[in-house]
Amino acid sequence: MERVNVGIIGCGHISDHYCQGLKHFRALDLRACADMDMSRAKALASDHGIAALTVDQLLADPDIEIVVNLTPPAAHFDVAMQVIAAGKHVHNEKPLAQTRDQGQTLLQAAADAGLRLGCAPDTFLGGGLQTSRKLLDDGWIGAPVAACGFFASHGPDSYHPTPDFFFKPGGGPLFDMAPYYLTALIHLIGPVERVTGSASKGFERRYATNKDLPPDLYGYAIDVEVDTHVSAVLDFANGSVASLISSFDTWHHNLPFIEIFGTEGTLSIPDPNHFRGPVRVRRANAEDWSEMPLTHDASMLRGVGVADLAYSLKSGRPHRASGALAWHVLDLMHAILDSADSGQHQQISSGVSRPEPLPAGLAPGQLDD
Ligand SMILES: NC(=O)c1ccc[n+]([C@@H]2O[C@H](COP(=O)([O-])OP(=O)(O)OC[C@H]3O[C@@H](n4cnc5c(N)ncnc54)[C@H](O)[C@@H]3O)[C@@H](O)[C@H]2O)c1
């Protein structure tokens, strides 16, 4: 297939990882990057042999077909709207946008322009979650009845070089980490019809303690503006019920990442923030867990959703890490907080179909034939 040219806007902490991941796919040609801070664009460009451009130059470059938006959450909407206005397909980092209005505006703008809108996370396309999907669909644990998903850490203030945005609207453990868990659960079980939530804030201030910060910045204080422990119940359209915790207030725990409880056994799912295993099954009468061989490539990195989008442009098929999926996730996260505020269940109207599973046995770096 003829390669699709890609540019990146936002050359921060995660951008090097994306450059490596995008290069994994023969469908993609990573051409250029841009950042409001030109020194960051130049550093990334020099590491990866691509062009460093201003944002305006990148948007005006007729060769770039897909833009990967790796800016912080507060800029996701504005940058994605600029990309669509420039006539290019866009793949956002998560969350899709900060507000529901922004999310719907993005979906509509892309549809009106005849452009594709994609969004992270794309980790559900990795070997761990695709193998889990195959085992579930093939009936290894019978029909899903219930599930749980747990993200519990003490937050990014000790490792991220600029952790402020994690504690501002659009961040927090819900908007930052729950997209991995919600997307994985929707990919496995289907859309959610009702949510209930409670939320709390364990600490009013956080202190940036990345060991590489200069002495004048080490330990600077960040006012926490979002809830940092969120607990939710998800009622799926197929009748399954899931419990979800997403927390930046937890030092230690013994919780699994995700488990699906079926009529004939339990499926233990690996970290949905990664592409690898292990995937474990324990059928009803089994004495122990069995680790299952992965049926799908686990060597991919972030950017597989962009490659999937590139293939979809050529064949016309839907792309899997879609704006519609990310919109359902965004709507669920807001509904969880609405429920926490109101004390009421929230009915969800933003349905979405489960994305198609990837075929088993694809060679690394390839998605379609
Ligand atoms: N850091 C991680 O481990 C990680 C992992 C997965 C996903 N993400 C997501 O990736 C996104 C970026 O995260 P990060 O950690 O790389 O952030 P970062 O703050 O390290 O980098 C963001 C970059 O975007 C640039 N930028 C901001 N606004 C801009 C604009 N309007 N135009 C052009 N450039 C702009 C900044 O100058 C900065 O270089 C976030 O949405 C985050 O949730 C991060």
For residue 139, is pLDDT > 90? yes
DSSP 61: -
CB-based contacts of 76, cutoff 8 Å, min separation 6: 69, 92, 93, 95, 96, 97, 98, 102, 170
The answer to whether the CB of 119 falls within 8 A of the CB of 91 is yes
Using CA positions, which residue lies closest to atom 6 of ligand 1? 14
CA atoms of 350 and 52, how far apart (whole Å):
39
- Convert the pLDDT of each residue in 49-75 to its tens digit: 999 999 999 999 999 999 999 999 999
Q: What is the DSSP string of 161-202?
A: SSGGGGGSTT-HHHHHHHHHHHHHHHHHH--EEEEEEEEE-S
The length of the chain, given as a count of residues: 369
Q: Looking at residue 363, what is its pLDDT?
A: 87
Percent of the chain at pLDDT exceeding 70: 100
Q: Which residues line ligand 1 (CB under 6 A)?
A: 9-15, 35-37, 40, 55, 70-73, 75, 79, 93, 162, 176
- Please, which residues bridge with residue 194 across strands? 235, 347
Q: What kind of architecture, by CATH, is found in domain 124-283?
A: 2-Layer Sandwich (3.30)
4-123+301-319 folds as Rossmann fold (3.40.50)
The band of 222, judged by pLDDT with boundaries at 50, 70 and 90, is very high
What backbone phi and psi angles, to 5 degrees, belong to 10? 105, 100
CB-facing half-sphere around the CA of 301: CA atoms within 13 A = 12
Helix (H) or strand (E) segment spanning residue 267: strand 265-269
**45, 33 in Cβ contact below 8 A?**
yes
223: three-class secondary structure by DSSP? strand
Closest of 48, 31, 27, 24 to residue 126, by C-alpha: 24
- Inter-residue contact 279 to 126 (CB < 8 Å): no
* The predicted structure's pLDDT at residue 45: 98
Ligand 1 atom nearest residue 93's Cα: 41
CA of 76 to the centre of ligand 1 (A): 9
15 Cα to the center of ligand 1, angstroms: 8
Q: Write the residue with the smallest CA distance to atom 36 of ligand 1.
A: 10
> Nearest C-alpha to atom 15 of ligand 1 is from which residue?
13
Q: Give me the pLDDT at residue 76, please.
A: 97
Give me ligand 1 centre to Cα 1, in Å.
31
Please tell me the predicted confidence (pLDDT) of residue 31.
Answer: 98
Q: Report yes or no: 251 and 153 within 8 Å, Cβ to Cβ.
A: no
> Residue range 155-184: average pLDDT?
93
Strands 89-92 and 66-69: parallel
Residues 6 or more apart in contact with residue 27 via CB below 8 angstroms: 1, 3, 4, 307, 310, 311, 367
Q: What is the pLDDT of residues 255-311, one digit of tens each?
A: 999 999 999 999 999 999 999 999 999 999 999 999 999 999 999 899 999 999 999
Which amino acid type is present at position 129?
L
User: 12 C-alpha vs ligand 1 centroid, how far in Å?
Assistant: 5
pLDDT of amino acid 369:
67
Mean pLDDT of all residues belonging to the chain? 96
Can you tell me the mean pLDDT for 178-202? 98
Q: What ranges do the domains of the chain cover?
A: 4-123+301-319, 124-283
Q: Is the pLDDT of residue 142 over 90?
A: yes
Angle at 152 between CA 150 and CA 153, to 5 degrees: 160
Q: Could you tell me which residues come within 8 angstroms of residue 78 by beta carbon, excluding any fewer than 6 positions away?
A: none
CA-nearest residue for atom 21, ligand 1, is: 12
Report phi then psi at 49, rounded to 5: 65, 40
CA distances to 22, 73, 206, 340 from 167, rounded to whole Å, are 29, 11, 8, 18
Give distance in angstroms: CA of 120 to centre of ligand 1: 13
